[in-house]
Amino acid sequence: MDKKKNLRVLVLDDDKFMLEFVSHLLRELGVNEVLVAENGAAGLFALSAQIEVVDLLICDIEMPGMDGIEFLRHIADQKYSGKVVLFSDVEADLLKAIERLAIVRGLNVVGTLAKPVTMGSLTAILEKLSLPIQKTTNSSQVRQIFDVEEIRQALMADQITLFFQPKISASSRRVTSVECLARWHHARYGYISPDNFISIIEQNGLINDFTRNVLKKSVQQLDIWLQNGLDLEISVNVSMANLDRFDLPEIYQEAVQDSNVPIERVTLEITEGKLGKDFAQSLDILTRIRLKGFGLSIDDFGTGYASMETLKYMPFTELKIDRIFAHNAAQDSATRVILESSIKLGKAFGLNVVVEGIENQADCELVTELGCDEIQGYFIAQPMLADEFARWLCDYEKNRK
């Protein structure tokens, strides 16, 4: 339980007694650094003044002035990367809606805490924090620091590394495929997640070189795995900003043809949210990508705007349901309904249905029962470096048999 002692927790509540009480409980539970704020402005100040990141924010929802929803919006904009617990006595369904909103905004919500708070409920929340934490850097700090020149240099110096996250078959539990996720290996900050640099790359006309580079590296890695007798496929993320040139299918084909990898083993994932700027052009490019033999996946399904139209026209082979519809679906009926109908929809279109962001056994069992084809998420494995993945796969296969 020593981990708790190193935690820095910020409690935000307009009720002075509640602040004192929760701080007291946290200290009793061994947390030695508890910060308190009586209103949203003080909370924002406390977060911005911290050189070291606040690990956990316990946030009241009903507050005069800036309420909890507004506060969460501000910290999401500032890319707060710590964990969040919602703390309130509003009705359960409203609290759930607020939780979903916070997740949609990219916040890492680990749970809700009903009032009156007890030692038991706080302990349960702190236990959850011992879950593995990703080794990425504080993104708010990072975001201010990087400019396009630094990123350009990083691309030239080949500082983009790939992490690999397995997908398993829901029925056989065999590892079928691996998603290749880019990380910037920064000399000072370690591995930096793509959310901190992809948009800068897109906005500065660097995305085509970047994607080709990622695709080449991913295919080279698959080539090695295939040579070692591993029966795997890969998925590579392609930005919608890539779909601005008609020769893209040829560029991608060339990147794969430099290796011995059959093109059918490579799926390109496109985020649905950004589809449709120039619908006919996107459709043209994506259709020709399919014609070359690539699989085509609609990523983060459910978070975009044109789901039905996209499904009707675009030649996708796979539907990847966003993690906001998987997270806690076993416990939350509204989430479950959306998840179930998305899976049905994907199956009705004859697509390979993947659910991503599975973090616990209950959700894993649920999505299997609901008929999805493949599962991805921290419950199976976190993204890993290639050699780490090879070791993990070996252990996984031993335990599966």
* Terminal CA-CA length for the chain: 34
Judged by beta carbon, residue 27 or residue 245, the one nearer ligand C2E is 245
What is the x/- site pattern for Mg ion, positions 266-285, by CB under 5 A? ---x----------------
22 interacts with, out of ligand C2E, Mg ion, none, CB within 5 to 8 A per kind: none
- In the DSSP assignment, the letter for residue 159 is -
68-77 and 40-49 helices, crossing angle to 10°? 30
Stretch that binds Mg ion, among 143-151, 209-217, 232-240, 341-349 (CB under 5 A): 232-240
The torsion region of residue 30 among left (phi > 0), alpha (psi -120 to 50) and beta comes to: left
Record the tokens describing residue 350, joined without a space: 């004859």
* 332 interacts with ligand C2E by CB under 6 A: no
Rounded Cα distance between 286 and 279, Å, is 10
Measured over all CA atoms, what is the biggest interatomic distance in the chain, rounded to whole angstroms? 67
Rounded Cα distance between 300 and 315, Å, is 17
284-to-7, 246, 296, 304 alpha-carbon distances in Å = 51, 8, 13, 20
* 112 interacts with Mg ion by CB under 5 A: no
* 237 interacts with Mg ion by CB under 5 A: yes
* 196 interacts with ligand C2E by CB under 6 A: no
135-to-83, 103, 138, 146, 157 alpha-carbon distances in Å = 14, 20, 10, 19, 22
Pair 292, 249: CB distance under 8 Å: yes
- CA 378, distance to chain mean position in Å, is 10
* 282 interacts with ligand C2E by CB under 6 A: no
Which of 12, 98, 142, 181 forms a contact with ligand C2E (CB under 6 A)?
A: 181
* 363 interacts with ligand C2E by CB under 6 A: no
* 377 interacts with ligand C2E by CB under 6 A: yes
Which of 55, 233, 272, 300 forms a contact with ligand C2E (CB under 6 A)?
A: 300
**Smallest distance, Å, CB 195 to ligand C2E?**
5
**Smallest distance, Å, CB 391 to Mg ion?**
23
* 300 interacts with Mg ion by CB under 5 A: yes
* 68 interacts with ligand C2E by CB under 6 A: no
Can you tell me which residue has the tokens 């493949």?
Answer: 374
* 167 interacts with ligand C2E by CB under 6 A: no
> What are the strands of the beta sheet with 56-60, ordered from one edge?
33-37, 8-12, 56-60, 83-88, 108-114
* 295 interacts with ligand C2E by CB under 6 A: no
Which of 269, 272, 340, 374 forms a contact with ligand C2E (CB under 6 A)?
A: 269
Pair 261, 253: CB distance under 8 Å: no
**Smallest distance, Å, CB 366 to ligand C2E?**
14
Stretch that binds ligand C2E, among 38-46, 119-127, 187-195, 330-338 (CB under 6 A): 187-195
Number of residues that bind ligand C2E (CB under 6 A): 24
Which of 10, 125, 214, 375 forms a contact with ligand C2E (CB under 6 A)?
A: 214
Strands 56-60 and 190-192: unpaired
- List all residues 6 or more positions away from 391 whose beta carbon is below 8 Å from its beta carbon: none
Interface residues with Mg ion (CB under 5 A)?
237, 269, 299-300
The contact set with ligand C2E (CB under 6 A) reads 165, 181-182, 193-195, 198, 211, 214, 237-239, 269, 271, 299-300, 323, 356-359, 377-378, 383
